[in-house]
């Protein structure tokens, strides 16, 4: 019997969730969205049977095994907890929540009810990332001593005055939105426990419409814009490993770059995407490389993988279903999400206090 999924939120990411769930053999039976007509339109577009305007009504269905959550950040935690308490497994969009404390509560509930909680850290599912992780697993890379995580945009503010730019609804700006490379770097590093974090945020261009991106949501007149446009930080881990990061919606860079570069005891490496003029087009450049020393020579190995336009989004959703079915290992865990959110919280706290922040947790 296939796993039956209900979706909360009829936004654009539904395109990838439904594709991945179906790829893994799941059946999508319902969509719930409080916006009038939104769920009905999504069901028609993606051939899903039942539409709801009340999440409670969908969660009352005993035939739904799992729920995916595609809503603004503020609602990730309360909806995840509601779904878990209704006896459903949960796959939520990123970020996991507004802060680490909310993630801790989500973990507590998931453990209490015995249900799986996972997140859409889709860049882990990219072919480049899977290939690089295999070199970590087989010992080629050794211990990654240091890594650099970057997602930078020159003009990428996702609208002004909407939920993306409202701290109360989003939890922050560019850093919490484009957290993927920080997560991917920590994933390659074995998700060590953070020790100290130093960070700074910048809001120089956050109200300048010259820096608006080509995607996002419409501007909201008289809305709130109180988040950062860019964040830089440095993380030390209890293992002695270190991570530097640069994340921005609007910063004076040449072009959009999404990358993790690392230096290991056996090999260094890079996973990188330079976006094109229109996103993934003929001017985009994908790189997956290993750097080694052989016979006294510096050797750069190009790792050739299949192209993946959706940056692992469908494969990530498929992994959730395959995990529930017991045919795959999870690409991410809730405790890793907690470590990631503690790093993000600490960067914001360091930027606020102008001082390093000690990160302590016992998980």
Last residue of a domain, one of 119, 141, 166: 119
The average pLDDT across 5-28 equals 97
- Domain assignment present for residue 208? The answer is yes
pLDDT digits (tens, 9 = 90+) for 203-232: 999 999 999 998 888 999 999 999 999 999
The pLDDT score that the predictor gives to residue 216 is 83
Q: CB neighbours of 31 closer than 8 A, spacing ≥ 6?
A: 6, 7, 8, 9, 10, 14, 39, 42, 43, 46, 48, 50, 51, 52
Do 83 and 211 fall into the same domain? no
- The first and second tokens of residue 266, run together, are 């056996």
The average pLDDT across 326-355 equals 98
- Domain assignment present for residue 153? The answer is yes
Last residue of a domain, one of 119, 142, 168: 119
Rg (C-alpha) for the chain, rounded Å, is 20
Tokens 């309360």 belong to residue: 78
Strand stretches in 17-65, DSSP E: 27-32, 50-52
- Domain assignment present for residue 161? The answer is yes
Give the residue with greater pLDDT, 24 vs 279: 24
Q: CB neighbours of 254 closer than 8 A, spacing ≥ 6?
A: 154
The pLDDT score that the predictor gives to residue 247 is 98
Give the residue with greater pLDDT, 164 vs 214: 164
Q: Which of 333, 363, 357, 362 is nearest to 343 (CA)?
A: 357
CATH number at residue 253: 3.30.360.10
Do 72 and 93 fall into the same domain? yes
Do 23 and 144 fall into the same domain? no
pLDDT tier, 363 (very low <50, low <70, confident <90, very high otherwise): very low
Q: How far apart are the first and last CA of the chain?
A: 35
Do 130 and 250 fall into the same domain? yes
Q: Containing domain of residue 259, as a range?
A: 124-309+339-358
> How many residues in total does the chain contain?
363
pLDDT tier, 343 (very low <50, low <70, confident <90, very high otherwise): very high
The average pLDDT across 95-124 equals 98
The average pLDDT across 162-185 equals 98
Round to whole Å and give the CA distance between 225 and 161. Answer: 5
Question: pTM of the prediction?
Answer: 0.96
Mean pLDDT of the chain: 95
CATH number at residue 43: 3.40.50.720
Residue 166 has pLDDT above 80, yes or no: yes
- In total, how many domains does the chain have? 2
- Domain assignment present for residue 329? The answer is no
Q: Which of 256, 251, 123, 117 is nearest to 185 (CA)?
A: 123
Do 263 and 346 fall into the same domain? yes
Last residue of a domain, one of 119, 149, 168: 119
Do 108 and 146 fall into the same domain? no
pLDDT digits (tens, 9 = 90+) for 261-313: 999 999 999 999 887 655 556 667 889 999 999 999 999 999 999 989 899 99
């Amino acid at each position: 019997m296939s796993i039956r999924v209900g979706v909360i939120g009829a936004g654009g990411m539904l395109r990838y969730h439904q594709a991945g769930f179906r790829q893994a053999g799941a059946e999508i039976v319902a969509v719930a969205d409080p916006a009038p007509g939104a769920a009905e339109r999504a069901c028609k577009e993606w051939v899903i049977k039942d539409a709801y305007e009340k999440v409670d009504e969908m969660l009352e269905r005993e035939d739904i095994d799992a729920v995916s959550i595609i809503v603004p950040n503020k609602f990730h935690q309360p909806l995840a907890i509601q779904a878990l308490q209704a006896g459903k497994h949960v796959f939520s969009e990123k970020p996991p929540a507004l802060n680490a404390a909310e993630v801790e509560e989500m973990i507590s509930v998931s453990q209490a009810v015995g249900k799986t909680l996972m997140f859409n850290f889709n860049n882990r599912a990219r072919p480049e990332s899977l290939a690089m992780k295999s070199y970590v697993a087989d010992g080629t890379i050794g211990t990654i001593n240091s890594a650099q995580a970057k997602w930078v945009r020159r003009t990428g503010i996702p609208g002004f005055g909407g939920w993306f730019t409202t701290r109360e609804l989003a939890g922050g700006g560019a850093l919490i939105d484009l957290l993927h490379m920080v997560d991917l770097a920590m994933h390659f590093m074995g998700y060590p426990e953070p020790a100290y974090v130093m960070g700074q945020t910048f809001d120089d261009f956050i109200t300048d419409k010259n820096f608006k991106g080509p995607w996002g949501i419409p501007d909201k007149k008289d809305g709130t814009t109180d988040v950062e446009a860019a964040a830089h930080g440095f993380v030390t881990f209890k293992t002695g490993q270190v991570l530097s990061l640069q994340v921005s919606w609007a910063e004076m860079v040449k072009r959009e770059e999404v990358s993790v570069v690392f230096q290991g005891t056996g090999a260094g490496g890079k996973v990188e995407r330079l976006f094109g003029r229109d996103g993934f087009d003929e001017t985009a450049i994908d790189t997956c490389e290993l750097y080694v020393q052989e016979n006294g020579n510096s050797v750069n190995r190009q790792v050739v993988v299949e192209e993946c336009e959706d940056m692992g989004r469908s494969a990530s959703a498929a992994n959730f279903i395959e995990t529930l079915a017991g045919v795959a290992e999870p690409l991410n865990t809730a405790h890793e999400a907690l470590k990631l959110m503690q790093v993000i919280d600490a960067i914001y706290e360091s930027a606020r206090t102008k001082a390093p922040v000690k990160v302590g947790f016992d998980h």
